[in-house]
Chain A
């Protein structure tokens, strides 16, 4: 009951000082600085989760902006589905597979539908199950929505829903269980080196990126993406302002994604935030320089990808590195993403928004960068100076490689089987006629930009 009382006090907000002056209020006497800290920790992680939730809007806008107007309803419908289906699937089984109190190294079990707690809002000196679920559920919705962009403009809506459910209910939670949930990968070590992925360059972003790659491969390129000569052609997005606004919303959301992953309201929240901010800016700048040299123009859509690449790259090392290395990690991400977009275009994997490059390729880079630049113990590493450049040797880099390989293999196999089943049953891709007309009217019965009716007469 003590934590219940504490919750009531904290709900009054700002009245703690007043309560301190009224010692005759029974429970107020029991309130210690540690209690207040616990409340602050939970409140901060909750607020950070709210920021992460809003990233759904950013993903939707980036994806809609970089695709054609005839598919804009379908794009928003898929992103809506990721929030709706993703949260419910994670609630039903995802959370149990990831963090359930039973189970072993391979998979979690128990706490289905967030059940089985005496009090799921109790802090018990740490984060309550409610806080943890809220924060983890919005991360799951993020992981699944990454694939949406790579599969844009040609995927059946029903097929996408099936993918979204299985991704949030099973594939992503298994990755989380193996890492943050204390399972398989968390129990591997090379010398003193154990895995480190602070906010999920690999666990969230590479997982989404690999699923995106499998989805794009199973679908094949959009009609018209490759000319008769086999050369990739541009299919320009219909709303660059949407795309850039989406990038800014994602950038803002990342100030919850990374600093929130500190899972406490302490001094490191701000340094993680600074690293996040620097990496995004450096990623955008170096993507701009790279595309300017390669294509002759500073393509804004690509610069937006660069900012996101910087953010994805710093997601794993944001708690372990100094500010300058953070900027360097982001900058490398910004250069990588441009070359990666060219690469996937050349090998006929059509990714309309660059999701495979931003989240998959750069997610790998961010995860590995810990092995090079880690200076501080980020609460995973368990030691300082683990990075190669700080005298930590190759152990940490090797451990990061092991982690990347295991997660990528699992997600590739699991999502590959899933897409194969979907393709063989309900079908993965819309008809060529529907693709040409646009998915909005034929899949959803609705135009994105219907305009004002001229025949209603009012």
Chain B
């Protein structure tokens, strides 16, 4: 099993969710996060004084899938979250040692 984590632009979340549901992904966990990459931050002004926003609001999305589905899920997220502009985010894949569905006690691929 693989854990796929994607950090994307918040306004792209609905498109990514719909695309993943479209290829049969059964669940996901979403967290509001802040951070910066090459995009850096931006400046805002308040009562005439400028200030720097270093950490830009993003959405982090976690999906656990079977090994065989991982590439398709990554490609789907990459396509749906792409706006072509700087700050679109990143996707990474990590291995999962054990997975348990709490209600039934099912483990592994059955718990996905």
Contacts and interface: CB of A to CB of B under 8 A. Distances in A.
A232 B47 CA distance: 11
Contact of A232 (B44, B45, B49): B49
A301 B47 CA distance: 7
Interface string A278-297: 00000000000001001111
A275 B48 CA distance: 29
B51 A299 contact: no
A232 B45 CA distance: 12
Contacts of B11: none
Interface stretch (A30-38, A103-111, A338-346, A366-374): A338-346
A129 to B, nearest CB: 43
Interface string A301-318: 110000000000000000
Greatest chain A CB density within 10 A among B44, B45, B46, B50 is at B46
Nearest to A225: B49
Contact of B51 (A233, A237, A294, A297): A233
Contacts of A65: none
A295 B49 CA distance: 8
Interface string B21-54: 0000000000000000000000011111111000
B36 to A, nearest CB: 18
Contacts of A102: none
B48 A233 contact: no
A234 interface: yes
A183 to B, nearest CB: 38
A291 B45 CA distance: 11
A354 B47 contact: yes
Contact of A302 (B44, B47, B50): B47
B48 to A, nearest CB: 5
Interface string B47-70: 111110000000000000000000
Contacts of B50: 234
Contacts of A342: 48
B55 to A, nearest CB: 14
A57 B50 CA distance: 30
A382 interface: no
B51 A296 contact: no
B46 A341 contact: no
Interface string A216-250: 00000000000000001111110000000000000
B51 A341 contact: no
A350 to B, nearest CB: 11
Greatest chain B CB density within 10 A among A232, A295, A296, A342 is at A295
Contacts of A345: 48-49
A341 B46 CA distance: 12
Contacts of B47: 234, 299, 301-302, 341, 354
B26 to A, nearest CB: 26
Nearest to A296: B45
A327 B50 CA distance: 31
Interface in B47-102: 47-51
Contacts of A296: 45
A342 B46 CA distance: 12
A297 B45 contact: yes
B49 A302 contact: no
A233 to B, nearest CB: 6
Contacts of A232: 49
A294 B49 CA distance: 10
B46 to A, nearest CB: 4
B34 to A, nearest CB: 15
A295 B51 contact: no
B54 to A, nearest CB: 13
A295 B44 CA distance: 10
Nearest to A231: B49
B42 to A, nearest CB: 13
B88 to A, nearest CB: 26
A304 to B, nearest CB: 10
B51 A302 contact: no
B78 to A, nearest CB: 34
B13 to A, nearest CB: 22
10 contacts: A233-B49, A234-B45, A234-B47, A234-B50, A236-B51, A237-B46, A301-B46, A302-B47, A302-B48, A342-B48
Given A294-B48, A302-B47, 9 more contacts: A234-B44, A234-B45, A234-B46, A234-B47, A235-B46, A236-B44, A296-B45, A338-B48, A341-B47
A-B residue pairs, 8 tightest by C-beta: A234-B49, A234-B46, A234-B51, A236-B46, A295-B48, A295-B45, A302-B47, A297-B45
